[in-house]
């Protein structure tokens, strides 16, 4: 996921503007924290462990 976010940053962040990169990193952490549990829940329901 981190590499995907890095690639995403590369598309969005302008070279003269450093602020969006840190914002994207912050957003990435938030997304990771909120999405990961949900993804794991949906995966565990799909794939019986």
Q: CB of 9 within 8 A of CB of 25?
A: yes
Looking at residue 12, its pLDDT comes to 57
How much is the pLDDT for 23?
A: 82
In the three-class reduction of DSSP (H, G, I as helix; E, B as strand; rest coil), residue 15 is classed as coil
- At 7-36, the pLDDT tens digits run 665 555 555 556 667 888 888 888 888 888
Q: Is the pTM of this model over 0.85?
A: no
Residue 14 has a pLDDT of: 54
Residue among 27, 7, 17, 39 at smallest CA distance from 47: 39
Which pLDDT value is given to residue 45? 82
What pLDDT was estimated at residue 6? 63
């Amino acid at each position: 996921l981190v590499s995907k976010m890095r690639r995403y940053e590369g598309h969005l962040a302008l070279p003269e503007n450093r602020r969006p990169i840190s914002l994207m990193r912050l957003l990435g952490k938030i997304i990771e924290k909120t999405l990961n549990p949900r993804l794991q829940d949906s995966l565990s329901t799909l794939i019986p462990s």
